[in-house]
Each structure stands twice: as structure tokens, then as C-alpha cells.
Amino acid sequence: MAQSFIQEYLQIPAVTRAYTTACVLTTAAVQLEFITPFQLYFNPDLIFKRYQLWRLITNFLFFGPLGFSFLFNMIFLYRYCRMLEEGSFRGRTADFVFMFLFGGVLMTLFGLFASLFFLGQAFTIMLVYVWSRRNPYVRMNFFGLLNFQAPFLPWVLMGFSLLLGNSIVIDLLGIGVGHVYFFLEDVFPNQPGGKKLLVTPGILKAIFDAPEEDPNYNPLPEEQLGGPTQGAGEEGEQRADHAGGQEHPQDQPDQNEQQQR
């Protein structure tokens, strides 16, 4: 059973696996009192004056103590992060990582001017928003109560959060950042006079994507399917005979000719 679980875990796409694992481990560390939320939350003064730079990342990893809210967020995070990575970002890991960085930077800049301590939920809403806009005709069912098309999902989640008594600022931030990314990546480049503004840095492609093959590359004969040619094989055989101290039959003088001499 343990081996089966490990196999299933390793089949999760790399970015989804890394992010969800980091979130679960962070919450577990808080639950076991190895660390406290006060060491994780977003605080510009502590980040820029005391150089506690880890807060730029950890505020995206903590979704609160174990409970309904944590499980709800983790289910949506895992589901839509994985569907994006296996769908529109399939084979484009570097572009997916760049979307993470782009969204994280925008949310951090917003957090500098607002009293937001943890941005993980906003990040989840951003992923949900991008997926929903790229799958506009998918029919959704929310807890068996509501039926709607995918683009309405982020707004349904915001309404659900409002019913639970939570602030909708986080949800609006996720929707806003998700829309900025979707517009710059999917809408604006396809408009007349538009162009692609979000270009993944080459260093990310070098790290996360497999190198592309050169279409003009011509493989050497020994690299082609079928191995070396027959002539090359005969030449190799001749070299092997010389290396063993033997002469090729064609190189030996005729015995009758030697007797006549």
C-alpha cells in the first residue's frame, strides 16, 4: 500500500506536487508547534528591515490550522493546479512556473499597501480563475446545489466565502490577478496590433524545460538507426585483423609467384 501511495504521489506533475507538499508540510509544522504563524505571515517591515525574506514565500504556504477551511482550500488548490499543469501548460513547465512568479509578485505588491497576512487563498483563486477562463464550456456542479459554467466558478467561491463570514478581499485579489494574467497571455496577443507581453525568461526554460532539438541537425552515420554501413563494418574487420598480427588474404603474395621468382 505504501509503495502504491508513493507511485501515485510521484505521478503528480512536478509543480503541483512541490507546491501542495510545501503547503501540507507548513501546516503540519504549525500544527505540531515546530513553528508559529507569526514566523510565516507577510510583514513588509520584517522582510525589508530585518531581512526575513522567507516571509515572501511562506505567506503563500499557510492556509490556517487543520480544519474545514484548510481541506477546502487544499482540494481546490490541488485539483485546479494539476488540471492547469496537465492541460494548457502540458510540456510547458517553465511557463507555469513563470505564471506562479508573476501572480506572486503582483499579490506581494498589493500586500504592501493592504493589511493582508497570508496570500495562499488568493493564489488558489488565481489558479481557479485562469483554468475557468480557458475552459469556458465546462459545466460545473457546486456541492450538488448549483449548476453553472466554469467562468462563474471563482465568483461562486467568493460568494461561498462571504456566506462563511470571511472577507472577500482575498478572493477579489485572486480574481484580479488571474484576470491580468489571462488578458496579457491569452487575450491581448490575439487582438489586432497586440503582441505577447509575458515572455518566460530563458533561465526558467533552461531549468525546467527539456532542450529543443535543432531541426537542422544531421546525425552522424553511427547515430542513425541501423548502425554503421557495410563498408564501415568491413573496414573495422580489416583493422581488427591487422591489430591481431594477421594480414588480409588479399594482402598475402601468391605462393606460385614466389616459387617462380
Q: What is the 3-state secondary structure (H, E, C) of 96-133?
A: HHHHHHHHHHHHHHHHCCCCCCCCHHHHHHHHHHHHHH
At residue 16, the pLDDT reads 96
At residue 194, the pLDDT reads 84
Name the grid cell of 64. Answer: 490556517
Contacts of 64 (CB under 8 A, 6+ apart): 27, 70, 73, 118
Indicate the pairing of strand 146-149 with strand 139-142. antiparallel
Name the grid cell of 90. Answer: 502540458
At residue 153, the pLDDT reads 95
pLDDT tens digits, 71-108: 989 999 999 999 999 999 999 999 999 999 999 999 99
Mean pLDDT of all residues in 52-75: 93
pTM value?
0.79
Structurally, at CATH architecture level, domain 9-208 sits in: Up-down Bundle (1.20)
Residue 34 has pLDDT above 80, yes or no: yes
The Cα–Cα gap between 255 and 18 comes to 78
Give the N- to C-terminal CA distance of the chain in Å, as an integer: 86
Residue 261 has pLDDT above 50, yes or no: no
Single-letter residue type at 26: T
The Cα–Cα gap between 44 and 56 comes to 9
At residue 92, the pLDDT reads 93
Mean pLDDT of all residues in 3-7: 84
Lowest mean pLDDT among 126-135, 176-185, 192-201: 192-201
Q: What share of the chain is helix, strand, coil (3-state, %, to 5)?
A: 60, 5, 35
Backbone angles phi, psi at 217, to 5 degrees: -80, 130
Q: What is the mean pLDDT of the chain?
A: 84
The Cα–Cα gap between 178 and 23 comes to 20
**Which residues is 148 bridged to in the sheet?**
140
**175 vs 8, residue with greater confidence:** 175
- Residue 4: which pLDDT band, with cuts at 50, 70 and 90? confident
At residue 221, the pLDDT reads 60
C-beta of residue 202 within 8 angstroms of C-beta of residue 92: no
The Cα–Cα gap between 39 and 62 comes to 11
- Residue 246: which pLDDT band, with cuts at 50, 70 and 90? very low
pLDDT tens digits, 126-174: 999 999 999 999 999 887 788 999 999 999 999 988 988 888 999 999 9
Residue 63 has pLDDT above 70, yes or no: yes
Q: Where are the domains of the chain?
A: 9-208
Residue 69 has pLDDT above 50, yes or no: yes
- Residue 236: which pLDDT band, with cuts at 50, 70 and 90? very low
Share of the chain above pLDDT 70, in %: 80
The Cα–Cα gap between 60 and 21 comes to 12
Mean pLDDT of all residues in 122-126: 96
